[in-house]
Amino acid sequence: MSLSEHRHKKALGQHFLADTEVVERIIRAIDPKPGERLVEIGPGAGAMTFPLLRRHGALTVIEFDRDLIAPLRAAAEGVGALEIVHRDVLQVDLTALAGEGRIRLVGNLPYNISSPILFHALEHAGSIIDMHFMLQKEVVDRMAAAPGGKDYGRLSVMLQAYCRVEALFVVPPDAFRPPPKVDSAIVRVLPRAAGEIAVVDRARFAAVVKAAFGQRRKTLRNALSGVADAAAMQAVGIDPGARAEQLAVADFVRLANSLDADGTAASVQ
């Protein structure tokens, strides 16, 4: 079976990019340089894979669908050096994959597991130079959202504490085979240098953010009950009567850091 004959699998969230102009625009955004290690998540039918391989000469891809492995390998012959990692990306140790260097991640992510993939990449951000992903537009909106709006939430805060997020451009449904029912968008995510990250205890920070947005209609006094009391919030200049979406990323960092320092918070289950 060739790549062109592969039938998309709905259970895997497969929507293969088919618009060559969009592909070229993505590659220009990535702008790969000699010597860089590129890793593509979910190459699918190779719409980005082979233009990247022709331009860069070498590429590592992570693909879960076993029916795509042999066709990808066959199509890469004479094009460039294609390394295929046949695994679920959530089970791939990206730090180990990077080895002594750092990698650049790219991919048209399966929309049904895009958030878990983003959080998985975040765990390995120290080994990643940058990420260029195709995602559902509403996910990109949430990733890049500022405080105060409906899109601002746990994903916004967790990503922006560790990375700079830049929404690049929208991709319409008719650029895919089969077309999804939603607009997509390209996002650039740049992990911050260690010195830029103000979070002291990552687990404590994650727990505070998770609790705050777990009941986002409630005030912080109620949402963070058992995690931080009103006095702890007031001590760092946060109004216990506010709601989670009103706080900036720096506010969450400041609160979590204070709780880590004085040990007043209970663990969030």
User: pLDDT tens digits for 58-113?
Assistant: 999 999 999 999 999 999 999 999 999 999 999 999 999 999 999 999 999 888 89
CA distance 253 to 269: 20
If residue 191 lies in a helix (H) or strand (E), which one and from where to where?
strand 184-191
- Mean pLDDT for 204-226 is 94
CA distance 95 to 85: 14
pLDDT confidence bin for 264, thresholds 50/70/90: low
Residue 108 marked as a ligand binder = yes
Domains in the chain (CATH in brackets) are 3-196 (3.40.50.150), 202-262 (1.10.8.100)
Residue 17 marked as a ligand binder = yes
Residue 214 marked as a ligand binder = no
Query: Does the pLDDT of residue 1 top 80, yes or no?
Result: no
- Mean pLDDT for 191-215 is 95
What is the pTM assigned to this prediction?
A: 0.89
Dump pLDDT digits (tens) for 228-249.
999 999 999 999 999 999 999 9
- Mean pLDDT for 40-47 is 93
Residue 42 marked as a ligand binder = yes
* Residue with more model confidence, 8 or 15: 15
The predicted structure's pLDDT at residue 2: 47
Residue 257 marked as a ligand binder = no
CA distance 190 to 141: 16
Short-list 81, 83, 34, CA closest to 62: 83
Structural contact between residues 2 and 71, judged by C-beta atoms closer than 8 angstroms:
yes
